[in-house]
Amino acid sequence: MAILSSFAPLTILSLVLLVVGIIVSGVEARPRAFFVFGDSLVDNGNNNYLATTARADAPPYGIDYPPSHRPTGRFSNGYNIPDLISQRLGAESTLPYLSPELRGDKLLVGANFASAGIGILNDTGVQFVNVIRMYRQLEYFKEYQNRVSAIIGASEAKNLVKQALVLITVGGNDFVNNYFLVPNSARSQQYPLPAYVKYLISEYQKLLQRLYDLGARRVLVTGTGPLGCVPSELAQRGRNGQCAPELQQAAALFNPQLEKMLLRLNRKIGKDIFIAANTGKTHNDFVSNPQQFGFFTSQVACCGQGPYNGLGLCTALSNLCTNREQYAFWDAFHPSEKANRLIVEEIMSGSKAYMNPMNLSTILALDANT
């Protein structure tokens, strides 16, 4: 598998990243800023500050998060994908934009605008009520730039954003918490699935264009995971341990169209701004062959209850596995920290099948020479 092949050059890669991420022309510099947009897969605590049920602010969330081993708002037992990318940049983790600690020099690290429950569409996740929808995340990004300008000046703030790395992860909820949320949902009555996917892609393109207009120049865009194979869907829609076919079809339609759209945008702009991160393929690798990646199971969640531990929320009363390293899924929807590490390995050094047109280590090396 491609994931395993990425481990061999890690020693060399880490040295490259040390040079690229922290040292510029022999002079010590601040690591490049990092901005995160999207949903619960990348939210690191914004929803803790909102009146919503889409929160991960109670045990056992954060059970492996150092040093406190307490909940942080991340939908994980430990680190999530943005944390692990920050580590590769040689930077501290970005703070949630709503955190009162995000001020002064902390602003120069970047910010995380993501909010659990949201989607590409504004009507996705309406049951969660008070979440930061994508249009609002982009408004906050503009507000952030004004705040940074007040500290380092408009010109330097513009450069900080231009040189930053951006991660956006959104789209899964538009199926799980919208189209397939209930039988005969409003969106499923409005569109057959292929037409709905086409509509999502067109709306997503508008968001990405807006992100570009706001100054983003290196943007990692992840696809959806194997939506029908998460423990929640196995428990509710799967048959005999098989992934839910309708949600698998949705992912199979969405991910290739997303990649094509990103490449079109790049051609239109004339530069490789948007990078398609095929995290769905990475997920499928360890879902289809968990033992090869050191997992005991890719079907049963570590934390939860009911079939596959896939029903309801992960709470202090839930079943809880003792060895999180053996589980691909932490809760009914979200990968474990170990699974997140595998995903980030592919983001860093994956082949073109996983990272198109290039992986993150290549991006960092190229940017070091410009």
Residues belonging to the active site:
40, 331, 334
The whole-angstrom separation of Cα 93 and Cα 82 is 7
Helices (H), the chain: 2-5, 10-22, 81-88, 134-152, 154-162, 173-174, 186-190, 193-213, 231-236, 245-269, 279-288, 337-349, 360-368
Q: Hey, is 353 helix, strand or coil? A: coil
Query: Could you give the residue ranges of the DSSP H alpha helices within 76-129?
Result: 81-88
Beta strands 303-304; 319-320: pairing state: antiparallel
Whole-angstrom distance, CA of residue 285 vs CA of residue 279 = 10
Q: Are 257 and 197 in contact (CB under 8 A)?
A: yes
Distance, CA of 63 to CA of 221 (rounded, Å) = 28
118 vs 28, 40, 94, CA distance in Å? 38, 8, 20
The whole-angstrom separation of Cα 56 and Cα 258 is 29
Is 114 strand, coil or helix? coil
On whether the CB atoms of residues 63 and 77 are closer than 8 A, the answer is: yes
Which residue, among 53, 36, 139, 16, has the nearest Cα to 93 in the 3D structure? 36
Burial per residue of 175-212, b for 16 or more beta-carbon CB atoms within 10 angstroms, e otherwise: bbbbbbbeeeeebbeeeebeebbebbbeebbebbebbb
Q: How many other β-carbons are positioned within 10 Å of the β-carbon of residue 270?
A: 7
- Cβ(117)–Cβ(167) below 8 Å: no
Q: Is the dihedral of CA 47, 167, 290, 292 positive or negative?
A: negative
What six digits make up the tokens of 344?
């980030």
